Structure 1
Amino acid sequence: MDDAAAEEEASMFETSHVLGALLASSPLLARAWDRCTAASAAAPWFVHGEDGGKVYVGFSGVQAALTAAGAAVAGGGADIFAPVSLGGDAAGRMFAPLVAAEPDPAATGEPVAVQALALQCFLKLCCSPDFQMLLNQIRGKAVVFTGHSLGGAVAALTALHYLCISSSSSPPAPPVLCVTFGSPLLGNEALSRAILREHWGGNFCHVVSQHDVVPRLLFCSPDAVPAHIIVGMQLQQWPAWTRHTGAVSTVTAHMADTDKDVLRQLIQTHVGAVAVEQKLAASETTGGSPYRPFGTYVLCSPEGAACVDNPTAAVQMLYATFASQSSAGAESPEAAHSCYGELVLKMPHHLLLKRWLRVDDDMPATPNYDDGVSLALEASGIDVMAMEASTARHWLKTSKRAGRRPSLNCARLATQLGRVTPCRAQIEWYKALFDAEMGYYDAFKQRRSPRKYTKVNLNRIKLGCKQMMNS
């Protein structure tokens, strides 16, 4: 098959919009968000409970915000969200598979690292007897770790730790999923590579609304990160924050006084710089942000959701959705960061509405794949006529497709059939040797068949096992 035919076959089906619609129509996001709100309201480290045969563990970021409030007021954003290596004694043991398989930092330029605040809170959480009891309770069960804002970063670290301790278990551990809502970036590019190397990218689902600034703020260079924005956004999700004074009231007041247009321009500039850097395939610039995404990003808006599981495409889409002209002045940063409960309720109802694309009568007909990309753009909040639509369309097309190509599926089926056909031919020959009085199965049970036919009977058993597995 030539390259043109292969490309055409690879582009038969667009998955970003379909996966987003499937996820939005399931109860997973709504159940996860319920745990997030319960954790934020109670402000413990975590809450948990079973629902639909799964254990949902919701993490609160309030404790992390309270820890960082003083430093945020003093302007210590560079220290709060500075990357910290996982190669230390305590962290190295907890995340051994990620660190042990890490290439030489001298060759790659950076070790596996995560943000300091999330790691500090996670290590403190691990010392809690309640957390150790939780790990014992959920062992052997399907688990969904979830969190909003800073709680999402703690949830992601917990999920990584749980995957690390479960990777060597036998039999394999049940499914583990981490769902974050509006969470800041957690780790650097080395962490993203390590997660891909361990094939854990599919265990992480990051839900990001079109106007939310928190998931995009750590694309800023470390000395330019407005830490009071992230901390203040988290504290506003806590119902009791109005009763606190001191650093809590100061950081929330500072956040409220921030010029929203300046904040938007700051984020757009730094995310755009990272996006351009990736387009040029340039090495990491000095003084730029060390943080990069990993896992699947669910870019959602009131119009729906689109899934992107390629880290490079995720950066481009985070920039395109935020920079889209349709989002200018739409809502305040505070509202955009707390809108996830409303979004997870609206998206399933929106899927019931009839959808059509706005096209010009003079335009030529487009393939179904291109129509699917247009639906994914609209679902993520980008108008198909917007300036950023062409860039976003390109990265949706180049992002990794889910599943095998049809040609690979055909080759796999042909290979399996080639292994089965000789076995079936032997059995048919074996059956023809016996008359109607004594069937081939009864003959073998009563040991009336020669020993040389034992291999044929083993093939019969093998085929029976395959049929049971396929059914």
Structure 2
Amino acid sequence: MFSNEVSPFESREMLATFVSSTPLLPDSWRLCTQANATPFRSFLVHRVASAVYVAFSGVHTAAGSDSSWRSLAPLHTIGGLPLFASRPTREGEDPVMVHAGMLNLFFSLFDSFQNQLLEIVGNKDTKSVVITGHSIGGATASLCTLWLLSYLQSISSSVSILCITYGAPLLGNESFYKTISKERWGGNFCHVVSKHDIMPRLLFAPITSLTTQLNYLLQFWHLSMTSPDFGKLANQISDKEKAKLFTAVMDYLEAATQEGETSVPILFHPFGNYFFVSEEGAVCVDSPAAIIKLMHLMLATSSPASSIEDHLKYGDYVNKMSSQALYQRNSMQRNIPDSSYEAGLQLAIQSSGIANQESAIISAKECLKTTRRMGPSPTLNAASLAVSLSKVVPYRAQIEWYKTWCDEQDDQMGYYDSFKSRGSSSSKRDMKVNINRCKLARFWNNIIDMLERGELPHDFDKRAKWVNTSHFYKLLVEPLDIAEYYGKGMHITKGHYMQHGRERRYEIFDRWWKDKTVSTGREENKERSKFASLTQDSCFWARVEEARDWLNCVRSERDTNKLALLWDKIENFEKYAINLIENKEVSSDVLFKNSSYSIWVGDLRELRQPKAKVQRLPHQFPVF
């Protein structure tokens, strides 16, 4: 086993060759052609054994106003399913946004295919679904794939989904790309882009600026969407207009690929795998920076006329790819570089179709070199993390010992309140626990960063070992984070912990645990005979602190409407806490005499006594 990948370029070219040798591309393109040629049909379905192909037409009337084709829209739900809203984002990140016009088009078609797709994936004979589309149909296919992936994830289905687009325009912003990567869905998308096709590159030019070039861009775009005879209508655009459109896209692509202050921001970002095809072969690339650079270098070898005509030549590329791949490999045998790394790099350059352009070869090599994976493979990273975990287990064990020690003290305060009230004159024991808390936080934050950088296996967050370990860590350590937050008065300046202080790692671990219960089809609902060793709601003490704040507000509030809202919150929390206690889902320290919860119960009882019409507190401490 090698710790480093020897030549990722060769593997990418080999992946492209492998895909070319399967029926995926010919079958999907054949159905795309039929969908484009079928009037009044938004999509076609074709079954091949256990695989089902769904092709969306690229011929549509634009949905929505012209302004929607110049703007972005937020993507919270798709087809009624929450898509990315539940995934925690980093502070300062932009929301997930997609092209408003394409989103409107998708919604206008959704009712027509929703039930049929649900029936397809519900069929026990269906093992895989290939969703495809040409041009604007490719954008619809991508959004449909996201909806279907969300649905299958919610029901824990094993049906595999693959989206293949041909000459599709860009779809979403950088947050859109990053979130798809975090969901580990990038591998479900294969975007086939020909060497000169301008359509996948159109949205690199700014769409918010009402320039002459933008008007040509929109004119071209609407022609491609609304006409079944794209070629004739494309010829209606004069050579001068084509040149302006081509120049606008090229200028912005060139500026976007520059380094330093001369670079310009990119509104739309590629996502998934890009399958670049040319007369010389094909190559797969998944790095957004490399995709953008290759799009620029390949378009630079084009002309305004060919950049438009190439949009209709995907059938030619698909039919020729297999034979060209064989010819390419034979020609490579005549001049094999000494280094396997250089051989792979040369193969990738040749497959991209720019090997004969001397001025572009150096730039292309540098571009591909930046995508080379350095360091250990994801599998080896996961193995080394198992070793690292064994090294931090003693930190966790010391915190467990600290909880046991607190529970045995005569002050009857418990784990949470003892750590919260330790103050500046804390003992060595408290200091050691705090140091261990910080070390564990760094360990888990590092795991999350590695996962999001793609340095760990795609199913890492589904592995029982890591899901269970992270869940136990959260239950054990988050109460200490809450104690630190309120003990230092951070809630006074920032707000309460649940809304303003909770670390992102805990939200991610919540999702891991929830996904586990969904995938197994059951939750841990076994009846307990004694109190839990750790309170099963890791945020329980944060809820107690908010409830204490509500009681203080009740004492000073004079507005009857606000008082009613406060009492509703208090009573809802009271019911929630009693339910946890009756089900023994709390640790015994929750009911200690001097715990924050017990003090809150006493304060609530005193506050209710003067109210003659208010029923007596129905809370009775269980015997334990």
**Fold shared by both chains (TM-score > 0.5):** yes
Question: In the alignment, is residue 32 of structure 1 matched against residue 28 of structure 2?
Answer: yes
Question: In the alignment, is residue 266 of structure 1 matched against residue 248 of structure 2?
Answer: yes
Question: In the alignment, is residue 60 of structure 1 matched against residue 46 of structure 2?
Answer: no
Q: CA deviation at 1:257?
A: 5.5
* Cα distance in structure 2, aligned partners of 1:395 and 1:125: 39
Residue 218 of structure 2 corresponds to 227
Moved more, 364-373 or 332-341: 364-373
Q: Output the aligned Cα RMSD.
A: 3.5
Question: In the alignment, is residue 313 of structure 1 matched against residue 301 of structure 2?
Answer: no
Match of 1:373 among 312, 332, 345: 345
Instruction: List per-residue Cα deviations over 1:388-438 (Å, max 9, x = no partner).
Output: 2112112222325599749939979x99xxxxxxxxxxxxxxxxxxxxxxx
Q: Amino acid of the residue matched to residue 50 of structure 1? A: R
CA contact under 8 A between 1:145 and 1:179: conserved in structure 2? yes
CA contact under 8 A between 1:86 and 1:92: conserved in structure 2? yes
Q: CA deviation at 1:315?
A: 1.0
Q: Amino acid of the residue matched to residue 195 of structure 2? A: Q
Match of 2:136 among 143, 150, 154: 150
Residue 113 of structure 1 corresponds to 97
Among all aligned residue pairs of Structure 1 and Structure 2, give the percentage whose two residues are the same amino acid: 33
Q: Kindly tell me: are residues 401 and 20 of structure 1, through their superposed partners in 2, closer, same or farther at Cα, counting changes over 3 Å? A: farther
* Corresponding residue SS for 1:55: strand
Residue 318 of structure 2 corresponds to 344
CA contact under 8 A between 1:10 and 1:405: conserved in structure 2? no
* Cα distance in structure 2, aligned partners of 1:113 and 1:410: 32
* Cα distance in structure 1, aligned partners of 2:285 and 2:25: 16
* Cα distance in structure 1, aligned partners of 2:371 and 2:352: 15
Unaligned regions of 5+ residues in structure 2, if any?
A: 388-624
* Cα distance in structure 2, aligned partners of 1:185 and 1:17: 23
Residue 42 of structure 1 corresponds to 38
Moved more, 192-201 or 395-404: 395-404
Residue 122 of structure 1 corresponds to 106
* Cα distance in structure 2, aligned partners of 1:283 and 1:95: 41
* Cα distance in structure 1, aligned partners of 2:280 and 2:219: 31
Question: In the alignment, is residue 137 of structure 1 matched against residue 120 of structure 2?
Answer: yes
Q: CA deviation at 1:11?
A: 3.8
Aligned residues: 375
* Corresponding residue SS for 1:56: strand
* Corresponding residue SS for 1:180: strand
Alignment of structure 1 residues 52-451 onto 2, 5 Å = 52-63=49-60, 66-67=61-62, 76=66, 79-87=68-76, 91=77, 94=80, 96-103=82-89, 107-108=92-93, 110-128=94-112, 130-139=113-122, 141=126, 142-170=128-156, 172-222=157-207, 223=209, 225=214, 226-236=217-227, 238-239=228-229, 255-256=237-238, 259-276=241-258, 279-280=259-260, 288-324=265-301, 327-328=302-303, 332-353=306-327, 355-356=330-331, 366-383=338-355, 385-399=357-371, 405=377, 408=380
Q: CA deviation at 1:254?
A: 5.5
Unaligned regions of 5+ residues in structure 1, if any?
A: 243-248, 416-471
CA contact under 8 A between 1:303 and 1:350: conserved in structure 2? yes
CA contact under 8 A between 1:16 and 1:307: conserved in structure 2? yes
* Cα distance in structure 1, aligned partners of 2:229 and 2:120: 29
CA contact under 8 A between 1:275 and 1:315: conserved in structure 2? yes
Q: Kindly tell me: are residues 133 and 52 of structure 1, through their superposed partners in 2, closer, same or farther at Cα, counting changes over 3 Å? A: closer
Q: Amino acid of the residue matched to residue 56 of structure 2? A: F
Q: Of the two, which has the highest radius of gyration?
A: 2
Q: CA deviation at 1:294?
A: 0.2
Q: Kindly tell me: are residues 178 and 367 of structure 1, through their superposed partners in 2, closer, same or farther at Cα, counting changes over 3 Å? A: same
Q: Amino acid of the residue matched to residue 132 of structure 1? A: N
* Cα distance in structure 1, aligned partners of 2:133 and 2:68: 23
Q: CA deviation at 1:359?
A: 9.6
* Cα distance in structure 2, aligned partners of 1:167 and 1:159: 12
Q: CA deviation at 1:100?
A: 2.0
* Corresponding residue SS for 2:165: strand
* Corresponding residue SS for 1:67: coil
Bigger RCO (CA 8 Å, 6+ sep): 1
* Cα distance in structure 2, aligned partners of 1:332 and 1:231: 19
Q: Amino acid of the residue matched to residue 114 of structure 1? A: V
Q: CA deviation at 1:166?
A: 1.1
Q: Kindly tell me: are residues 343 and 36 of structure 1, through their superposed partners in 2, closer, same or farther at Cα, counting changes over 3 Å? A: same
CA contact under 8 A between 2:9 and 2:345: conserved in structure 1? no
Q: Kindly tell me: are residues 12 and 305 of structure 1, through their superposed partners in 2, closer, same or farther at Cα, counting changes over 3 Å? A: closer
* Cα distance in structure 2, aligned partners of 1:125 and 1:303: 37
Residue 465 of structure 1 corresponds to none
* Cα distance in structure 2, aligned partners of 1:199 and 1:133: 26
Q: Kindly tell me: are residues 345 and 365 of structure 1, through their superposed partners in 2, closer, same or farther at Cα, counting changes over 3 Å? A: closer
Residue 429 of structure 2 corresponds to none
CA contact under 8 A between 1:102 and 1:112: conserved in structure 2? no
Q: CA deviation at 1:306?
A: 0.4
CA contact under 8 A between 1:206 and 1:296: conserved in structure 2? yes
Q: Amino acid of the residue matched to residue 233 of structure 1? A: S
Q: Kindly tell me: are residues 411 and 211 of structure 1, through their superposed partners in 2, closer, same or farther at Cα, counting changes over 3 Å? A: same
Q: Amino acid of the residue matched to residue 173 of structure 1? A: S
CA contact under 8 A between 1:145 and 1:155: conserved in structure 2? yes
Residue 402 of structure 2 corresponds to none
Q: Amino acid of the residue matched to residue 100 of structure 2? A: A
Q: Amino acid of the residue matched to residue 296 of structure 2? A: Y
Q: CA deviation at 1:351?
A: 2.0
Instruction: List per-residue Cα deviations over 1:47-96 (Å, max 9, x = no partner).
Output: 01112531000001212xx226x96xxxx4x5314211113xxx367452
Q: CA deviation at 1:328?
A: 4.5
* Cα distance in structure 2, aligned partners of 1:239 and 1:123: 25
Q: Kindly tell me: are residues 411 and 10 of structure 1, through their superposed partners in 2, closer, same or farther at Cα, counting changes over 3 Å? A: farther
Q: Kindly tell me: are residues 234 and 185 of structure 1, through their superposed partners in 2, closer, same or farther at Cα, counting changes over 3 Å? A: same
* Cα distance in structure 2, aligned partners of 1:306 and 1:111: 32
Q: CA deviation at 1:13?
A: 6.6
Q: Kindly tell me: are residues 39 and 190 of structure 1, through their superposed partners in 2, closer, same or farther at Cα, counting changes over 3 Å? A: same
